[in-house]
Amino acid sequence: MRILELWRYPVKSLQGERLQAENLGTHGVNGDRRFAIFDVETGFGLTARRVPELLFGSARYTSTGAVEILLPDGTIAADDAALSGWLGRKVTLRNTDEVSSRRFESPLDFENESGWDPFEGAQGSFRDSERTAISLVSEVSLGGWDRRRFRSNVVLSDGGEEDLVGRRVSLGGAIIEITKQVGRCVMVTRPQPGGVDKDLDVLRTIHRERGGKMAIGAIVMLEGPVAVGDEVIVGAAPVSL
């Protein structure tokens, strides 16, 4: 099993960037989910669950630790005013060091997008779960679905990744512990640029055939570099913490 693709999503729910190599740290791929856009009035962090338009913007993490956001019209967002104009509400871009309250929303009924349920996201990077610093999915599991629907950091060459749950593995120069299978939500049904249409059948199929779960989540036990082509080695040596 090898790494076929490596992805970073600098701003939560925006398009990300495909990488050849990067460092894997405590909070995942360097710069991943480092920023999020917040609704000034409600205080909620925005995601494409509630605001699907977010998926039509894209983000690039810079060498200085900042982020560059490209709007759907091809312009670069210079400030919060530009982001607010795009989204039609007053919003502010914040990094992980600037925010302690990380409230997000998810619909209880994805078919009708009703019953919005607030939840508290993870500390560190803007992830939904403390048990997932990095997510992985195999090319086999993806099948014909566009990998961007699932926003995993790593695409693996071989299937059966769910069998790694509870195991410790070497990933390039890093060691990770696979903690869970990832439960999926309405995000995977959202339209995206490049001909990815709204498709509720994606989530219906995942619920019917996979118990609502797709991909695996892991925490990082030992930081290190990872790159496309690196082998995934099961049964990594224990780490002294």
Q: Are 92 and 80 in contact (CB under 8 A)?
A: yes
pLDDT of residue 236: 58
> What's the average model confidence in pLDDT over 69-90?
96
Residue 225 — pLDDT band, cuts 50, 70, 90? Answer: very high
Architecture of domain 3-234: Beta Barrel (2.40)
Ranges of each domain in the chain: 3-234
Helix (H, G, I), strand (E, B) or coil at 235: coil
pLDDT of residue 237: 54
Tell me the pLDDT tens digit for each residue of 175-196: 999 999 999 999 999 999 999 9
pLDDT of residue 179: 96
pTM above 0.85, yes or no: yes
Tell me the pLDDT tens digit for each residue of 23-51: 999 999 999 999 999 999 999 999 999 99
Which of 229, 227, 239 has its CA nearest to residue 169?
239
Beta bridge partners of 60: 68
